[in-house]
Structure 1
Amino acid sequence: MIPADNTLGGRIPLLAPEDLSSDQQTLYTQLKATMVPWAKKSGFQAETSDEKLIGPFNALLRSPLISKALMEVTAAEGAHTALSEKVRQVVILTVGVAWQAAYELYAHVAVAEKAGIDEPKIQLLAAGQKPDGLSIEEDVAYDFTHQLTTTHQIDPALYERALVAFGEKGLVDLICLAGQYMTISGLLNTFAVPAPQAQ
Structure 2
Amino acid sequence: MGGRLPLLAPDALDADQQKLYDALTAKMVPWANQSGFRADTADGRVIGPFNAMLRSPRISQALLALTNAEGEFTALSERVRQVVILTVGALWRADYELYAHAAVGAQAGFDAATVGALVAGEKPAALSAAESLAYDLTHRLTAQHQIPADLYGQAVATFGEKGVVDLIYLAGHYMIISGLLNTFAVPAPAPS
| Length-normalised TM-score, structure 2 | 0.98
Shift of 1:119: 1.5
Q: How does 1:178-189 map to 2 (within 5 A)?
A: 178-189=171-182
Question: Which residue, out of 149, 155, 158, partners 2:142?
Answer: 149
The residue number in structure 1 matching 2:28 is 35
Gaps (5+ residues) in structure 2?
A: none
Cα distance in structure 2, aligned partners of 1:153 and 1:193 = 29
Cα distance in structure 1, aligned partners of 2:2 and 2:72 = 30
The residue number in structure 1 matching 2:133 is 140
The residue number in structure 1 matching 2:83 is 90
Matching residue's letter, 1:12: L
Q: Do residues 12 (structure 1) and 5 (structure 2) align?
A: yes
Aligned with 1:193: secondary structure? coil
Gaps (5+ residues) in structure 1?
A: 1-7
Cα distance in structure 2, aligned partners of 1:34 and 1:65 = 17
Q: Do residues 50 (structure 1) and 48 (structure 2) align?
A: no
The residue number in structure 1 matching 2:158 is 165
The residue number in structure 2 matching 1:5 is none
Shift of 1:198: 7.1
Matching residue's letter, 1:176: Y
Identity of aligned residues (%): 63
Question: Which residue, out of 69, 94, 99, partners 1:101?
Answer: 94
Q: Do residues 174 (structure 1) and 167 (structure 2) align?
A: yes
Deviations 1:126-174 (A, max 9, x none): 1011111211110000000000000000011111111111010000000
Q: Do residues 80 (structure 1) and 73 (structure 2) align?
A: yes
Superposition RMSD in Å? 1.0
Cα distance in structure 2, aligned partners of 1:195 and 1:75 = 23
Cα distance in structure 2, aligned partners of 1:160 and 1:133 = 23
Q: Do residues 66 (structure 1) and 69 (structure 2) align?
A: no
Shift of 1:117: 1.2
Shift of 1:103: 0.1
Shift of 1:27: 0.4
Question: Which residue, out of 86, 110, 117, partners 1:124?
Answer: 117
Cα distance in structure 2, aligned partners of 1:180 and 1:56 = 12
Aligned with 1:154: secondary structure? coil
Moved >2 Å (runs of 4+): none
| Length-normalised TM-score, structure 1 | 0.95
Cα distance in structure 2, aligned partners of 1:117 and 1:169 = 25
